Structure 1
Amino acid sequence: MASPAFRKSALEYVERAEFLKRDLPRLLELAKTTKSPSRILLEKAEFAVLKAQLLDEAGHCSLAIDWYSEAIQVCIQAGENCAEGDLRLKLRKIANSALERVEHLKKVEEQKRVEALTENLPDVPVDELSRLNLAADPPSEYSTPSPSPITPRKAAAVGLTQEELAVLATTSYINGRKYVPFLSVDLKEKFNYSIPFTDKDGKLTLTEKQKKRIKAWLRPHEIFEEPKLIGTIDSGTIKQTVISDCSFVASLSITARYEKRFGKQVITSIIYPQNKAGQPVYNPSGKYMVKFHINGVWRKVIIDDYLPTDENMCLLCSHSQSKGELWVSLLEKAYLKVMGGYDFPGSNSNIDLHALTGWIPDRISIKDRDPSFDGNKGKRLLMVKNPWTHLRWKGRFSENDLINWTPSLCKALDYDPNQAKTKDDGVFWIDFESVCHFFDVFYFNLTSIKSPYKVKKVESGKWEGRTAGGCGNGASRETWKNNPLYEISLEESSDENLILIDLKGPRQYSVGFDLQQVSSARNKPFEKNRTDVFRPGYTVLAVEKVPAGVYSIRPMTFQAGQEGPFILKVEASCGFSMKRVQ
C-alpha cells in the first residue's frame, strides 16, 4: 500500500499535469513573450561561473573545477540550438574562460599533489651516533610512564556535552521536519542543477482563502519576464495578501527598514546563494537556502521557488510590489515551512523578528505618562505601517486631521497630509495617547549590545611543581603565594574603568584568582577582589570603577599540587599593558 507521502506527491504531479493540459494555450502564448531556452541556460551558466569563482577564491580547487565544468556543459547545450548570434558569442566566451580556468586549476591540483607526496617522504636516514640522548637525566627504562599534561590548547577547546548535543538534536525537529544547525560547511551547498530543483518535502499547506483562489504553483520565470531576487531593500514595497502572518510581514518590514537606514546587512545576509559581495542572487535552478535563529541556534531551511498563484497569475502570498522581486515571497515561504505551512495561526512580531535577526525579544508595558518617552515640544508620535499596505488610522494626526498638523510639525517630520491623501499605502502617524488607549504592551527586540571593553589581552601558563600553590586555605596557607602572578597597568585617562577577567583551566580542578592593587596613579584606593566561588574549569569576574594604576592577578587552583595549564583573559574599557612577573 502506498505511503501518505507518496500519495501526496502523486496527487501534486497529477494536479500539475492537469494544469499544464488545461492552460497549454496560455502558456504557449506566454512563452512567446518570455526568455528563450538558450537565454535561460545562459543564466544557469552565469550562475555556475559565479559559484565556481567563489569556490576558486576560497581555495576549494576541486569544487571550483566541478562548477566551471558544469558551466561549460551548459554553454555547449545552449549553443546547439541557439539562433541568436550575439548570444552564441557570449556563450562561447563564457565556455572558453571557464575552460582556461579549469586547465589552470588542474595544474595547481597536480602541483599540490606532488608537494604532498614530497612532504610525506621519510626523513633522511641518520647514523646511530645522531640518535644519542644528550639530556642530563636520561629516562630510566624501568620508570613508570606518567600521563601527559593537558596542553593549554586542549584545555581551551570546550566542546558540547552529550546533554547539549541531545538538546540540539531534539530541538531540530519542528512540526515533523528536521532543521539542523547552520554550519560553515553549508556555504558549499549545491545550488546548480540540470533539472530545476524541487523540494522533497513537497508543497506547503494552504490557507482556506488560498485553496479557493489557487490556479497553480508556478516558478518565477513562469510569472515574471525578468525575475530577480532583490532590486532594492525597501520596507515600503512589502505587501501582505491572504495569509494571516501579519507579525512576520511586520518583522520583515522592520528588518528591511533597518538595513536600508543603517546600511547593515540584516535581511540580505540570511538568503543563499550569494555573490562575491555577499548579496543574495536569483537562482535559475530554483533552489534557495535561508537561515533562521530558531530554538537557540541559526538553522538552515531549504526551499524551492514554486509559489501559489491565482487565475490571473497574481501571487497568493506576501510579495514585493517591485515587479519581479522574490525576496519577500521566498523568505515568507521558508519561515512558514518551518511553522507548518501557509495556514499559519499567527505569532507576535518579536518572536518572528528574533528568528530573522537573533535580536533578543522582550516586552514592556506602556503608560500614558511613561517618562522614558517624554516627547518633543509636547508631541509624542509614532510612525506605523499596516502590512496590508492599505487602511490607515483615522483619528488624531491622520492625513485628514486639519487641527494638529501644523506647518512646523510637517516640516520636522517631512510629512505632507495632502500628499498622503492621494495614496493609501498603509503608513500613518499616530499619537502616543491614542496608542495607550488601544494597547497595553510593546513587543520589541534588542539588537546586539555593544561591549564596553575596548582592549583584550590573553596569557597562557601552567601550574606545575612549586607554582601549583593552591588557594591559601588549610595546607596551602604557606604555598599559595607561589602561584603564577601577572601585572596589568591601566592607562591614566580615567579612574572609572571597567575590567572583565576570566580564567580557564582543567575541568577537574576548581579555579579562581585574586585581583589586588599594587599602586594607584592618583592615590585612589581599591579593595582587594577575589572570585566569590572557585568553579570547575572556569571562573569570571567583572569589576567596576577601577582607578588607573597597576594591579596584580594571581590565578590559582583550590588545592595545592593540582598541575595543569590555564588561560587568563583580561578585557578593559581603557588601554592597558599586561605581563607575567612570577
Structure 2
Amino acid sequence: MHFCFLYLCFSYFSFLVQEICENPEFIIGGANRTDICQGDLGDCWFLAAIACLTLNEKLLFRVIPPDQSFTENYAGIFHFQFWRYGDWIDVIIDDCLPTFNNQLVFTKSSQRNEFWSALLEKAYAKLHGSYEALKGGNTTEAMEDFTGGVTEFYEIKDAPKDLFKIMKKAFERGSLIGCSIDAIVPAQFETRMASGLVKGHAYSVTGVEETTFKAEKVKLVRLRNPWGQVEWNGSWSDNSKEWNIIDKSENARLQHQIKEDGEFWMSFDDFMKNFTKLEICNLTADALESDRLQTWTVSVNEGRWVRGCSAGGCRNFPDTYWTNPQYRLKLLEEDDDPDDNEIVCSFLVALMQKNRRKDRKMGANLYTIGFAIYEVTVVQMHGNKQHLQKDFFLYNASKDRCKSYINMREVSQRFRLPPSEYVIIPSTYEPHQEGEFILRVFSEKRNVSE
C-alpha cells in the first residue's frame, strides 16, 4: 500500500493496480467510450473529451500508446502523450491509483479489471500538477491537448441556421464535439432535470445522423454522459416508441441499444431546445486521419505579456495598448470558392494563455484575453521591422477582432479578409497582467506569420 503523491488525495489511500484486482488489463476489447465512468472528481469536461477521442482510433493511440500491458515487458509504469503548446510531450506515471474501500475513487471502467482510463486521468493530472487541478474546466481544453487542434464555440441560441450541417460535416471529418447545458447558479451544477439531462455538465457528441420517420427525414444527435449512466428520457431515448416504428435495419445502422450506459439519441430539435453550448475541435494536418480531408496551414507564435514592457491591456487603454506583442500576418492566396464573388482569405486565429491551470494552486486564475487585427501597409511597417507606435492605433480602427474578451484558456474565431498584410495584437483586458501565451493562425491557404 502506498500514499498517493498527487495533491487532493490526502484522504484516500493509493494501491497498485495488482492490489485492487486480480488479472488487471490495460485495455480489454479495445478502448471505447463505455470504459469511462466518472468518479468523485469534478472533471466531466475531461472525460467527455476522452469519449470523443475513442471515436477516432488513430488519434486515440497517439495519446494512449497501445503497446503497454500489465504482463508483457511490465515495469510498473505507463506513458501517455499530450499536445502542450505546440509540442507533443510524453508523461510517465506509475500504476498506483487512489482508492477508498478498495474501489477506485476517480475515473474507472465499467469493467473492474480495465485501467486505461484511470491511468490516462492520472497522467493528465500529473501534467497539470495535481488531481485537484482538474476540478472544473472546459471540454475544449482536453480536446486540444489530445489533438493539437483548434476549437470553435457556438452559443446554441445564436447558432447559424445550418448548425446541423456544420455538426455533421465536422463529425465526418473527425472533429471532436462536446456540448453542455448552462447552470445559472453554482448550486445547479450537475443537477439532474426531469428530462434526465444534467445542468452544468459536459456531454460528448458521439453521432450525428438522419433517418426516415413516418415518411419524413428526422435529424438525430447521439450524446454520452460521462457518468456512464443518467440518460435523456424524451423522444428517441433508449426506450421511446420511435424505435419501434422505424425499420429494423435503421435500428442496427444507428446502433440503438436499450442499455443504461450514459449514451442516448435525441432529435436535433430537442438538442437545440435543451443545450446551450457547443464546442467543435477541428483537427490540424498532423492529426488528420486521411490526406483526403481538408488540411490547414498552421503558424505558431509564442510570446509573453511582461508588466511595464509588453502587457498593455486592451484598446480601452491607449497609452499602453501599443506596447502589446505584435504579429505580422501576410495572407497570400484567396479561397478557391469565394462567396458573392468576393476575393477573400479564410483563416482562424486562436490565442491561448499558458500554464494557468497548473499554477492555479498558487492563485493564477485565467486572465480575460482577446485580440484585434489591423491592416497595415509596408510604409506603416517601416520595412516590416518597426513595432507599430501609439499614433497608429489612435488613428486606425481594427479591421476585425474577436467577438469579446473572455476568461477562458483559449479565445478563437474564424475570419474572412482580403489578401493583404495585417498585424494581430493579442492582449489581456487589463494592462500590467503578466503571463505566457501561444498565438496560432490556421488558414485554408498559404500565409506568412511572424
How would you bin the TM-score normalised by the shorter chain? 0.3 to 0.5
Larger radius of gyration: 1
Q: Of the two structures, which has the highest relative contact order with CA contacts closer than 8 Å and spacing of 6 or more?
A: 2
TM-score, length-normalised on structure 2? Answer: 0.48
Greater strand share, 1 or 2?
A: 2
Greater helix share, 1 or 2?
A: 1
